[in-house]
Amino acid sequence: MSKLGNIGARLYRGEVGYDFIGKRKIWYGISVLITITAIVGLAVRGLNMGIEFSGGAVFTTPKTSVSATEAEHRAEAAAEGHQATVQKLGNGGLRIQISELDTQQSLPVQEALAKDLNVPVKDINTQLVGPSWGEEIANKAWLGLGVFMVLVVIYLAIAFEWRMALAALIALIHDLTITVGVYALVGFEVTPGTVIGLLTILGYSLYDTVVVFDSLKEMSKDIGKQTRFTFSEMANRSINSTLVRSINTTVVALLPVAGLLFVGGGVLGAGMLNDISLALFVGLAAGAYSSIFIATPLVADLKERDPAMKALAKRVRAKRASAAAKGESQEQGDTAVQDAVGEAEPQDAEDAAPAGSSAAGRRSQPASRDRGRGRPSGKRR
């Protein structure tokens, strides 16, 4: 931990760092590849919408020895071809969701399930969701997401600038696309809990992004009055100074979410936790990635197009070229002096150089140092 703290302190002071901005084309390529994969998965497999959005019936059974796979086949047979989703509950019961099932069809299905699963009909709890209600929930979810995006862009444009607001919006869309694509590829059910998870991860993603933006805003204050760093270099310093903080925040947030996803949903069989935990897990990881590798490099790209930043970059390059030329000239001058001195140095420097001479080689000791040898101490008698 002490080594990590030392690395964080050195990153913050700018003593060490990684060139995130300089390698931004690599990060853009990785993001494009992941995004295309997510879109293809979404187009091919589609989303497994829960009955809250598509409408249908939910049957909750008591403890039974029938497996989830077998119960799924029997439920689809009883529902005459309607798609069924079965989850094993912690108490040994089953949660059977059958989409697009109306009230008249639910009672025969309930009786068929009771017979196939060998449980009393009265012990099977049935809940019906109409398609109009599911459509209303979906519209409210999209509305909430749209309002959230608009408010975020307005706030960032006021608190920082429009370039940062645009970069943050692109990063958010990037995170949403990846999370939704993973849902399509994995086949997890999309429920209102999924929407809650998406809104939550957008908040986490914005937190990391705003931390980097705030550091960049502070470092780039009066940036035009100096000629040491360009805006891209200043942005790179901002990322490095907040890197350890972002990593720590993401890891601390991912650990409990991983417990919900892998332990709660996988080991304990609490399938109802999968919808929100998967959205949180994927979204938190994607949000940390986008805040470092997407949002800030995009701001640097947009800002470097500003005429003032172009002029600053030109001045910085000119100053560095001048310093490099002066350093080269000084080095060449020192080398020429050393060569000239070496050629002028006689073979026996000790004999040729006069007493006290500092021309080159080893200096001869002054003769005055030998005057007192073989004589009395010099004290007056």
Both tokens of residue 260?
């919900």
Please state, in angstroms and rounded to a whole number, the distance separating the CA atoms of residues 278 and 284: 10
| Chain centroid to CA 112 | 50
SS3 state at 87:
strand
pLDDT tens per residue across span 143-176: 888 888 888 889 889 989 899 999 999 999 999 8
Mean pLDDT of the region 98-115? 80
Contact 282, 257 (CB under 8 A): no
Neighbours of 336 (CB within 10 A): 10
Provide, rounded to the nearest whole percent, the portion of the chain with pLDDT above 90.
11
pLDDT at 378 over 60: no
Please state, in angstroms and rounded to a whole number, the distance separating the CA atoms of residues 274 and 376: 103
Containing 125, the helix (H) or strand (E) segment is strand 125-129
More reliable by pLDDT, 269 or 27: 27
Contact 234, 215 (CB under 8 A): no
248: confidence class by pLDDT, cuts 50, 70, 90:
confident
Least confident of 186-200, 314-328, 330-344: 330-344
Mean pLDDT of the region 305-325? 88
- Calculate the CA dihedral of residues 339, 342, 344, 349 and round it to 10 degrees: 170
pLDDT at 9 over 70: no
Both tokens of residue 64?
């039974």
Mean pLDDT of the region 122-126? 83
User: Is the pTM higher than 0.85?
Assistant: no
Neighbours of 5 (CB within 10 A): 10
Provide, rounded to the nearest whole percent, the portion of the chain with pLDDT above 70.
78
125: confidence class by pLDDT, cuts 50, 70, 90:
confident
Instruction: Return the bridge partners of 126, or none.
Output: 59
- Calculate the CA dihedral of residues 344, 348, 353, 359 and round it to 10 degrees: 40
pLDDT at 327 over 50: yes
Q: What backbone torsions phi and psi does residue 98 show, to the nearest 5 degrees?
A: -125, 115
More reliable by pLDDT, 133 or 108: 108
pLDDT at 351 over 60: no
pLDDT tens per residue across span 263-308: 765 555 555 567 788 888 888 888 889 988 999 999 999 999 889 8
With a CB cutoff of 8 Å and minimum separation 6, the contacts of 173 are none
Q: What is the pLDDT of residue 328?
A: 63
Please state, in angstroms and rounded to a whole number, the distance separating the CA atoms of residues 249 and 240: 15
pLDDT at 331 over 80: no
Mean pLDDT over all residues of the chain? Answer: 77
Domains of the chain (ranges, CATH numbers): 19-49+133-314 (1.20.1640.10), 56-129 (3.30.70.270)
With a CB cutoff of 8 Å and minimum separation 6, the contacts of 332 are none
Q: What is the pLDDT of residue 26?
A: 93
pLDDT at 30 over 90: yes
pLDDT at 379 over 60: no
Q: Which residues of 33-56 are buried (b: 16+ CB within 10 A; e: fewer)?
A: ebeeebeebbeeeebbbbbbbbbb
Please state, in angstroms and rounded to a whole number, the distance separating the CA atoms of residues 312 and 247: 32
Contact 231, 303 (CB under 8 A): yes
* Amino acid at the residue 232: S
Mean pLDDT of the region 334-340? 49
If you search the block for the tokens 């030109």, which residue do you land on? 314
Residue 127 vs residues 57, 224, 276, 282: alpha-carbon distances, Å: 6, 65, 21, 31
